[in-house]
């Protein structure tokens, strides 16, 4: 590479809401304290390697549009090193605390698993040095178990146990590298863990295999002393017609079936939520209710398209609802907001990468401020609290504790001549209240 890709790799500054500079923050002021934590601590932003540095701008009808310098050359390891330099420049410009990657994003696949794993290690050593120099941290690592044709019929859920073993060997290396780089989580997204037709599929066997695979990962995590969280990323479909990790509630059922519900949490993605027919905030609230909220892949799907468009999250109203759920869940612990988002294939300029991240970071910061105002106002919270007050009485509590039978309920109502009167749910009123803070 001759000229540097980003000619001026200095951090983007906060200029305040009046600024019209697209290369400045208007709301994201990382040291500003909101609800007891700085914005940086709330958000824990991460930039992903795959969309920003590995994807060339192709779609199913056309190839590369970006023509990035690190994607063209004869020595793939040299290109991987160039890519790492550009990536760390962007991390610096955006002043984010974290980044994320798949093994195949950072280093080329070799002719054997051993060679591929060595390539990943070699680049990870560069990362270790760069982390040391910059203070940047790894939010999570993961293994790409979906691009290579060997995984076309699944990784853990493949009909061939050798493919299961291959995937396991790849995950072992990715987990090792993630641990050595101090990664705070490890993610498993099962893009090929599903089926195209039941005519060639033994569903029972595949679910069993997926449970075994995840149990092996958890067991290895404990034996190697990996302190991070193991996260499953739900998605209902794409690339497979049906994916087993359909949504948060389905993943919880799967974890329960294999006794892993205390071991594994979820990484929730907006676009996956809407593909499952849910809202973003539904998936967040469900994860929180089930005690498995882990992290977020921040992006935005198109409501009218049935696939993952992975656009940058810019919808402040939607992000406010999401932020309210995240705060109710206690906020992130090991997780964070990972930009699983890509610029459109017409957004060719290096600046487009910066502007997209900055714009979305600002949208989230604004959402946090809106959520803070709604929480401080307290109207919505106290409405919900009052609505469920009956369940906090000794009577409500005794039902929940399992101290009452069906006959007790019948005797209570008939004996006491109980005739409950419906109360308004007041949805439009609550929506109007919330609009005051948007």
Q: Where does this chain bind ligand XLS (CB under 6 A)? A: 102, 142, 187, 189, 233, 235, 269, 297, 308, 340
Give the nearest distance from C-beta 154 to ligand XLS in angstroms.
15
Shorter beta-carbon distance to ligand XLS: residue 44 or 235? 235
Identify whether 417 is a catalytic site residue. Answer: no
Q: What are phi and psi of 187, to 5 degrees?
A: -110, 140
- With b for 16 or more beta-carbon neighbours within 10 A and e for fewer, the 306-333 pattern comes to eebebbbbebbebbbbbbbbbbbbebbe
Count the residues of the shown chain that bind Ni ion, applying the rule CB under 5 A.
Answer: 4
Shorter beta-carbon distance to ligand XLS: residue 44 or 102? 102
Residue 357 contacts which entry, Ni ion, ligand XLS, none (Cβ below 5-8 A, type-dependent): none
Q: Shortest CA distance to 290 belongs to which of 274, 258, 266, 314?
A: 266
Shorter beta-carbon distance to ligand XLS: residue 53 or 189? 189
| Binding residues for Ni ion restricted to 213-272, rule: CB under 5 A | 269
Q: What H or E segment, with its residue span, contains residue 343?
A: none
Give the nearest distance from C-beta 271 to Ni ion in angstroms.
5
Residue 142 contacts which entry, ligand XLS, Ni ion, none (Cβ below 5-8 A, type-dependent): ligand XLS
Of the candidates 102, 278, 282, 357, the residue annotated as catalytic is 102
Of the candidates 29, 89, 95, 105, the residue annotated as catalytic is 105
Q: Tell which one of 283, 297, 318, 325 touches Ni ion (CB under 5 A).
A: 297
Which runs of E-coded beta strand occur in 329-373? 337-339
* Contact call for residues 131 and 139 (beta carbons, < 8 A): no
Shorter beta-carbon distance to Ni ion: residue 154 or 191? 191
What is the DSSP track for 150-203?
GGTT-STT-SSHHHHHHHHHHHHHHHHHHHHTT-SEEEE--TTSEES-GGG--H
Give the nearest distance from C-beta 275 to Ni ion in angstroms.
9
What is the DSSP track for 292-323?
-EEEEEE-B--TT-SS---B----HHHHHHHH
Shorter beta-carbon distance to Ni ion: residue 89 or 308? 308
Give the nearest distance from C-beta 375 to ligand XLS in angstroms.
29
Cα distance between residue 242 and residue 279, in whole Å: 19
Q: Tell which one of 206, 283, 340, 362 touches Ni ion (CB under 5 A).
A: 340
Taking CB under 5 A as the rule, does residue 318 contact Ni ion?
Answer: no
Map residue 237 onto helix, strand or coil.
coil
Q: What are phi and psi of 294, to 5 degrees?
A: -120, -65
Identify whether 72 is a catalytic site residue. Answer: no
Please, what is the Cα angle at 407 between 401 and 408, to 5 degrees?
50
Q: Which residues are catalytic?
A: 102, 105
Q: Which residues bind Ni ion (CB under 5 A)?
A: 269, 297, 308, 340
């Amino acid at each position: 590479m001759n000229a540097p890709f980003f000619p001026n790799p200095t951090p983007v500054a906060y200029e305040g809401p009046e600024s019209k500079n697209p290369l400045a923050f208007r709301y994201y002021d990382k040291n500003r304290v909101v609800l007891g934590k700085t914005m940086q601590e709330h958000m824990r932003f991460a930039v992903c390697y795959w969309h920003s540095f590995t994807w060339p701008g192709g779609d199913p009808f056309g190839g590369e549009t970006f023509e990035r310098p690190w994607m063209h050359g004869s020595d793939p390891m040299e290109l991987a090193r160039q890519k790492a330099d550009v990536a760390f420049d962007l991390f610096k410009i955006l002043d984010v605390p974290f980044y994320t990657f798949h093994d195949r994003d950072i280093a080329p696949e070799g002719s054997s698993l051993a060679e591929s794993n060595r390539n990943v290690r070699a680049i990870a050593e560069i990362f270790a040095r760069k982390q040391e120099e910059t203070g940047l941290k790894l939010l999570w690592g993961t293994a790409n178990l979906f691009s290579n044709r060997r995984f076309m019929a699944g990784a853990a859920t493949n009909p061939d146990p050798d493919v299961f073993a291959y995937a396991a060997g790849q995950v072992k290396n990715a987990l090792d590298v993630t641990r050595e780089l101090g990664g705070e989580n490890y993610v498993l997204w099962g893009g090929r863990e599903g089926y195209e037709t039941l005519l060639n599929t033994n569903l029972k066997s595949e679910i069993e295999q997926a449970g075994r695979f995840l149990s092996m990962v958890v067991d290895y995590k404990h034996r190697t002393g990996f302190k991070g969280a193991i996260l499953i990323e739900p998605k209902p479909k794409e690339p497979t017609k049906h994916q087993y990790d359909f949504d948060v509630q389905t993943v919880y059922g799967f974890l329960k079936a294999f006794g892993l519900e205390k071991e594994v949490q979820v990484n929730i993605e907006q676009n996956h939520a809407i593909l499952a027919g849910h809202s973003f905030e539904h998936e967040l609230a469900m994860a929180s209710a089930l005690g498995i909220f882990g992290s977020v892949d921040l992006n935005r799907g198109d409501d009218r398209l049935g696939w993952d468009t992975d656009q940058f999250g810019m919808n402040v109203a939607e992000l406010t609802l999401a932020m309210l759920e995240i705060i109710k869940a206690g906020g992130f612990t090991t997780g964070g907001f990972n930009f699983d988002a890509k610029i459109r294939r017409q957004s060719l300029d290096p600046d487009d990468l910066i502007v997209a991240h900055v714009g979305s970071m600002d949208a989230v910061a604004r959402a946090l401020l809106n959520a803070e105002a709604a929480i401080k106002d307290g109207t919505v919270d106290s409405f919900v609290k009052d609505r469920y007050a009956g369940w906090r009485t000794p009577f409500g509590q005794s039902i929940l504790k399992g101290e009452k039978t069906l006959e007790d309920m019948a005797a209570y109502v008939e004996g006491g001549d109980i005739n409950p009167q419906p109360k308004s749910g007041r949805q439009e009123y609550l929506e109007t209240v919330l609009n005051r803070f948007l």
